[in-house]
Structure 1
Amino acid sequence: MARRVHHRRGLAGPAVLARPRLGQSPRPDRPATDRLRTSRQLPPRCRHGHRLGDLRHPLDRGHVPRVRPAQGKKKPRPRRSFTPEFKAEIVELCRRGDRSVGQVAKDFDLTETAVRDWLRQAEVDAGKRDGLTSSEREELAQLRRENRRLREDVEILKRATAFFAKETR
């Protein structure tokens, strides 16, 4: 006869049956023996009743945490730089219209996004679309670098002034 399992949270449902006690037969139609359970009959279990190594209770002591392989995550492609001539050639291939942007990108092992960005930038440079031209972008990047360097110089001078003002007192 199977007995119900009492759990911390209350009585388990009638579908959950307890394991047989030591010396009881795991099957009621077979006679009980006085020998100890072997690992073949019932695997060792944790305090929650799960098989050891079953990993349903990862917080239980003695369980080995499951290491899941990365699913669907690709390694990011290293950043590559391309010459303006190469970009112009790719843009020209896309403008001809015999191949789609995706096909050109695939043929030259490029990302579709990069090719579309090159196309957009070429349209801006040609005056067909609003935005910053390539030369304006270069100038803006140079001015930002210079601005950052000047801010660092000012910060160093402020610290030096404070240091020497403290030293003269």
Structure 2
Amino acid sequence: MGRQSLYTEEFRKDAVALYRAADGKRTYASVAADVGISGETLRTWVRKDTSRNTRAADHANAGAEAETDELARLRAENARLRGAEKEWQLEREILRRAAAYFAKEVK
């Protein structure tokens, strides 16, 4: 296990937010100097945060894709079942008519 960090999670998030708020107008080193850390430390924090956010977004997108795929599959299955039901109703009607016809013939 690694050593415990000198900085709290809140401090890290604030430093990353400060860097991102500069919107590319400031370097890692200049923002890091303002908060009292090294530029490399800030760069590492920003990369980790970006990676975390990307994974979270990918996970959310994967869930949405899975829901979209499932919805498409269920709609196709529903259409197939409705078509099958219409066929069964038609067959049932034909058999009912045939039974009525043969019932008259037998009498």
Range into which the TM-score falls when normalised by the shorter chain: 0.3 to 0.5
| Greater C-alpha Rg | 1
Structure with higher RCO (Cα < 8 A, 6+ apart): 2
TM-score if structure 2 supplies the norm length? 0.42
The answer to which structure has the higher helix fraction is 2
TM-score if structure 1 supplies the norm length? 0.27
